[in-house]
Amino acid sequence: MSEAGEETNPPKDRKAGGFVRTLKGRALRLLSQREHSRHELERKLQAFEEAPGELTQALDFLQAKGFINEQRVVESLVNRRANKLGASRVRQELQAKGLPAEAIAQAVQDLRNTELARAREVWRKKFGAEPQDSTERAKQIRFLVSRGFAPEVVRRVVAGAEDA
């Protein structure tokens, strides 16, 4: 404490103006940055819960008001990541967010329909030319597989095969 009896380091749950951040406020701040699933919010806000059930109650309120929407989370992630990643990798990211299995399955099915075109575009941006030797071919294959594209799609893209 300083000489005047004031704290030099305010608690982490207080803003500069002296207001205490509530769980709802923290959740709304996170949601204003990007869409979050309920599972993500629970994980991020768990440390700030003071009374049992307080976090659940706050998230129930936000979900009832439409601030938390699992379908919007799916759509947002697919829109952000699909042009760079394959369906497998997008599925992993959706699962990590704790989203419903049926929503994930539908999103992945939709992505599989465009996987070849998306893989070609990613490949074109990164490499732009067919591999000259086996080392370069392996490098291109590893790159596309690490991005989550299906092995058959990767084979077709690296081989330069056209749509069958």
Q: Could you report the per-residue pLDDT of 27-76, keeping only the tens digit for each?
A: 999 999 999 999 999 999 999 999 999 999 999 999 999 999 999 999 99
Is the pLDDT at 10 greater than 50? The verdict is no
Q: How many domains does the chain have?
A: 3
Backbone angles phi, psi at 14, to 5 degrees: -110, 140
Helices (H), 34-86: 38-45, 54-64, 70-81
Axis-axis angle for helices 87-96, 70-81 (nearest 10) = 140
Residue 85 placed within a domain: yes
64 and 44 share a domain? yes
12 assigned to some structural domain: no
Across the chain, which distance is largest between two alpha carbons, in Å?
Answer: 79
In this structure, the answer to whether residues 155 and 119 fall within a common structural domain is: yes
Q: Is 17 domain-assigned? A: no
Question: pLDDT for 12-37, tens place per residue?
Answer: 555 555 566 899 999 999 999 999 99
Phi-psi region of 125 (alpha: psi -120 to 50; beta: other; left: phi over 0): alpha
**143: number of Cβ within 10 Å:** 16
What is the structure's pLDDT at 16?
54
Taken as a whole, the chain contains a residue count of 164
Domain end: 53, 68, 83, which one? 68
108 falls within a domain = yes
- HSE (side-chain half, CA atoms, 13 Å) at 94: 31
pLDDT number for residue 12: 53
61 found inside a domain: yes
- 51 inside domain: yes
What pLDDT does 164 receive?
Answer: 38
Task: Specify whether 134 is located in the same domain as 146.
Answer: yes
For 134, the domain range is 115-159
Kindly report the pTM of this predicted structure. Answer: 0.78
Buried b (16+ CB within 10 A) or exposed e, 91-112: bebbeebebeeeebeebbeebe
Task: For residues 53 and 29, state if they share a domain.
Answer: yes
If you average pLDDT over every residue of the chain, what do you get?
A: 88
Q: Give domain status of residue 80, yes or no.
A: yes
